[in-house]
Amino acid sequence: MSRKVFFDTDPGCDDAVMLAMALGHDGIDVVGLSTVCGNTTIENTTRNTHAILALGGYDVPVARGCGRPLVDELDTAEWIHGENGLHGDIPDVDGDTRDIHGADAIVEAAHEYGDELTIAAVGPLPNLAIALAKEPRLPDLVADIYLMGGAAMTTGNVTPMAEANFHNDPAAASRVLQDADPRMVGLDVTNRATVSPEFIEEFREAGGVRGTIAEWLDYRPDSGTYPLADAPAIHDAAVVADIIDDSVLGFEEYYIEVDTTGGPCHGAVICDEHGTTDNDPNGRVAVDIDVAHYRDILETGVRAYVAD
């Protein structure tokens, strides 16, 4: 049986792969999408979301969300993801964006689908933070809330300590960790959520839509290297893989919070690994990943997204 999932996303190349994987895989029913600023501006992430849907021939409601962090200044990453935030030959479509804010779309979906729904927030978190402020019962209404963000017991990827999504809006991430009882899928596992070079080359050689997906997969071609791995990590896709099969990731419960003080650890996750605070756990942190199983699920979904 497929899982109903609402995605809050900021496409971005790894978001694009994740959405292609989720749309194509029969284990996921994508019931709605909200966009947020992050990898690029809200105008671009919304347009890119419509383009990803159009490229695969899918029709999913899209709601535009926050165009800036709750407190901090937006720091985009076109230098990684390409001009307008997405590599490849993507269709120039405006799409039919709903006349509802992304945060309200999250709350609406929670009330419509209840405990059949999983929320997956894979960008900065202002939409989800606002949704929690408007509907504090949100974690009790839905089956699960997944986040892609943070670095609990490893180093960061935009500062020595902070991961990009949390660093882009630490105040929102802090609110979500306090209130959402989330599954936090951070760099502790997603740095290992790589795709095989052979899969990328297969799609690159095929050209067309598959060639565009190859550019999403190999999203840092100018650098020639990938941090901590010999292949690109598709961070967001680890969330989808575990929603499809919860044996992909291993979780442990910890007390976690986010540094919002503006110092050198701004946006970093503080994880009470050894229980020194005596605070009760408030989240489940992904600590292990079955890379081979993750790759199998990713490849199955992405292949089906462009099935002939």
Q: Which residues of the chain have pLDDT under 70?
A: 221-230, 308
Q: CA distances (Å), 34 to each of 121, 130, 194, 281, in order?
A: 9, 13, 26, 29
Note the pLDDT of residue 83: 87
Residue type at position 231: A
Note the pLDDT of residue 229: 57
Burial 7-21 (b: 16+ CB within 10 A, else e): bbbbbbbbbbbbbbb
Q: How many angstroms separate the CA atoms of 174 and 143, rounded? A: 21
Q: CA distances (Å), 190 to each of 40, 207, 237, 248, in order?
A: 21, 27, 9, 12
> Using alpha carbons only, what angle is made at residue 106 by residues 75 and 97, rounded to the nearest 5 degrees?
75
Q: Which residues are catalytic?
A: 235
Note the pLDDT of residue 79: 82
The dihedrals phi and psi of 217, each to the nearest 5 degrees, come to -65, -40
Residue 62 falls in which region: left (phi positive, over 0), alpha (psi -120 to 50) or beta: beta
Rg (CA), the chain: 18
